[in-house]
Every structure is written in C-alpha cells, then in structure tokens.
C-alpha cells in the first residue's frame, strides 16, 4: 500500500467517524472509522521511514577520473606517427 492508499484510509475513517450518523446493527461505525485512521497513520509512518532509507546516497570513496581524448587530426592520424 502506497502513500495514496494510506491517505485514502485516513479520509474514509474520518468520514465514517465524524461525518456520518448511520446506525447499523452490530457495527459501530465510529470505531471502524477510528481503526481505519489508525491503520492509515501507521501506513504513512512506515512508508515515510522506508522512503527515507531509500534516499540515502552513497558517495564514492575515490574521485572518478575520466580519460581525456586528444582531438583527431585531419589526415586520420591522432598520434602523429602516420605516414
């Protein structure tokens, strides 16, 4: 479940808890809403901690040295030893 799914769980839980006045026999919708919000918050914290670990960038221990190329001569010889 990604970040979007967690936010949807929080929103649905808040709607069930605070914005509805439905009465279902055997089901407490306020409790279901609170549970959904808690699960969504746990998901957000888990997702953010995993994403934070993935952002760690390892720096190379030695500098990267690129080889410099010599420009080519018009006669096709780049080292000067051609005939």
pLDDT per residue rounded down to tens, the chain (83 residues): 788 999 999 999 999 999 988 888 999 999 999 999 999 999 999 998 888 777 666 666 666 667 766 665 565 555 556 55
**pLDDT at residue number 27:** 92
**pLDDT at residue number 22:** 86
**pLDDT at residue number 73:** 56
Task: Return the ∠ at Cα 37 (arms to 43 and 18), rounded to 5°.
Answer: 160
pTM of the predicted protein model: 0.61
Structural domain boundaries of the chain?
3-54
Count Cβ neighbours within 10 Å for each residue of 23-37 and write b for 16 or more, e otherwise. eeeeeeeeeebeebb
């Amino acid at each position: 479940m990604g970040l979007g799914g967690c936010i949807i769980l929080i929103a649905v839980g808040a709607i069930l808890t605070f914005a509805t006045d439905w009465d279902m026999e055997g089901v407490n919708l306020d409790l279901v809403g609170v549970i959904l919000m808690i699960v969504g918050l746990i998901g957000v914290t888990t997702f953010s901690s995993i994403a934070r670990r993935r952002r760690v960038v390892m720096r190379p221990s030695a500098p990267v040295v690129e080889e410099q190329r010599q420009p080519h001569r018009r006669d096709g010889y780049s080292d000067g030893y051609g005939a």
